[in-house]
Amino acid sequence: MSGRKRPRLFSFGRETELANLDSWVEDADQRALLVSVVDAFIEVTRTRKLAPENLAPVLAAAVHPSENVRAIGITRLAVLTHYFPEALAAFGNLVHHSDPGVRLYACASLANAPEEALPDLLRDFLADPSWEVRKSAAQVCATTKAAEILTLVDQRLQRERDARVRVVLELAARFQRDQRP
């Protein structure tokens, strides 16, 4: 393990958070959902507890059809995974979401997830039906130093048929081998 620190669980003030939304969304329904995400996240940072009613809007945003809304939801969820097992379980459920866009963004956000969770999450993302998701997972494998990653990469290389994914897996394998003492 690289000893990566978990992100601080904090939020800017509500007005600052809401002002930032203005450049992200114009749709009133999307804005309403994101306001609920901001309010829920602020409550979690204040209480240091994750109640189901605070996780619900984050999850709704994480699977939203709008990429901007999804980005905010998944990013907030990734931060929460460092502090709450329920958030990590919810993030893990994104691996099997029916929308490949949700899976792709979740996979790309793995750099913000707890390092100890990476092997299990990457195992599933590397087996995804979408080549884009598998390629994204391979890219994560090429940038993380978690101990089990080389084994996952080697196993996937034996089965991967898509050349776009194979080339990234080969780079990941080389990176992983170079990291070994």
Range of the domain at 136: 115-181
Give me the sign of the Cα torsion angle 46, 112, 17, 104. negative
Same domain, 123 and 161: yes
Of 64, 95, 113, the residue at which a domain comes to its end is 113
Query: Shortest CA distance to 87 belongs to which of 59, 118, 61, 115?
Result: 59
Q: Could you read off the pLDDT of 140-171 as tens digits, one per residue?
A: 999 988 779 999 999 999 999 999 999 999 99
Q: At what angle do helices 118-126 and 131-141 cross, to 10 degrees?
A: 150
Same domain, 97 and 178: no
Same domain, 139 and 100: no
Instruction: Identify the residue whose tokens are 């996937």.
Output: 156
User: Residue 94: pLDDT above 80?
Assistant: yes
Query: Shortest CA distance to 72 belongs to which of 36, 123, 118, 121?
Result: 36
- Predicted TM-score (pTM) of the model is 0.88
Q: Could you read off the pLDDT of 5-50 as tens digits, one per residue?
A: 777 777 778 888 888 787 778 789 999 999 999 999 999 999 999 9
CATH code of the domain in which 153 resides: 1.25.10
Domain count, the chain: 2
Q: At what angle do helices 52-62 and 85-93 cross, to 10 degrees?
A: 30
Same domain, 96 and 176: no
Same domain, 33 and 108: yes
